[in-house]
Homo-oligomer: A and B are copies of this chain.
C-alpha cells in the first residue's frame, strides 16, 4: 500500500506505524470508507475509563461524539420509517423507532458489525458504574465520527445499508408494536384488580373528533389519555397509566 504518507499543508508529514495502518483498515471494514481523520474514530471507541484528560480538562472519550451520533441516527431512522410506512401515524413511527434505537439493540448492532473489538475501556470500573452500554454508546459515537469525517450523505448510507437495513425486519417489528390497553388489562387481571376505561369527554363532531379516556383501577382514577378516536384515547391513557405504575 503506497499511501503510508499523509499530505498536510503540502508536506509529506506522517509515517504510519503498522498499528495505525491496521486501525485504518479495521475502520474501513466497518464503515466502508477509509477514515480521513483517524483521531475521530479512535475517540469514538474510547470509553472515559480509558481516556486521558486533555489540556482543557476534558477527557478525550466518546461522549460528545455519542451525543452527536445519537441525534443523527435518530433522524435517519425517523426518515427511513417515515418513508417505509406512508400510511402509519406518528405514534406508530415513534414506537417503532424506539424499538430500533435503544440501548440493547445498539449494543447488539455494535457487536454484529465488529465494533466491539475496537472499543477501549478499563474493566475494573470502580464506583459500580456499568459498562453495559459501552458498545452501543460507542456505535453512536462512531456515527458522529463518520458524519464529521465523511459528511451527511455517506453517514446516511452507512446507517441505511450497513446498520439498519441488514439487521432489522421492519415488517416483523411493526407486527409487535405494543398494545398498551391489553398490557394494562393483563397486569390488572394478574394482580386481581378491577380495571375499566371511561370516556370522560368526547366530541363526535365529524370535523373535530376528540376523546379523553381515563383508566380506573379498583375505582381509583389513574391517568387520562387523548386521541382522535376512542381507541387512541384509550391507548394513550393505558400507556400513561403504565408509566404511572412504573410498569413501562
Contact = CB atoms under 8 A, between A and B. Distances in A.
B67 A78 contact: yes
A71 interface: yes
Interface string A202-234: 110101111110000000000000101000000
Nearest to A85: B64
A127 B212 contact: yes
> Copies per complex?
2
A207 B49 CA distance: 6
Given A48-B228, A72-B75, A122-B207, A201 B128 contact: yes
Contacts of A82: 64, 67-68, 144
A129 B78 contact: no
A126 interface: yes
Interface stretch (A20-28, A55-63, A165-173): A55-63
A240 to B, nearest CB: 15
Contacts of A205: 126
B75 A93 contact: no
Query: Which one of A66, A75, A201, A207 has the greatest number of beta carbons of chain B within 10 Å?
Result: A75
Contacts of A124: 208
A87 interface: yes
A127 to B, nearest CB: 3
Nearest to A144: B82
Contacts of A209: 126
B226 A129 contact: yes
Query: Which one of A59, A68, A70, A147 has the greatest number of beta carbons of chain B within 10 Å?
Result: A68
A43 to B, nearest CB: 12
A79 interface: yes
B75 A89 contact: no
25 contacts: A49-B207, A49-B210, A56-B87, A63-B89, A64-B82, A64-B90, A66-B90, A68-B78, A71-B75, A72-B75, A72-B78, A74-B74, A74-B75, A75-B75, A79-B147, A122-B208, A125-B203, A125-B208, A126-B203, A126-B208, A126-B210, A127-B210, A127-B211, A129-B226, A152-B153
Interface of A: 48-49, 56, 58-59, 63-64, 66-68, 70-72, 74-75, 78-79, 82, 87, 89-90, 93-94, 122, 124-129, 144, 147, 152-153, 201-203, 205, 207-212, 226, 228
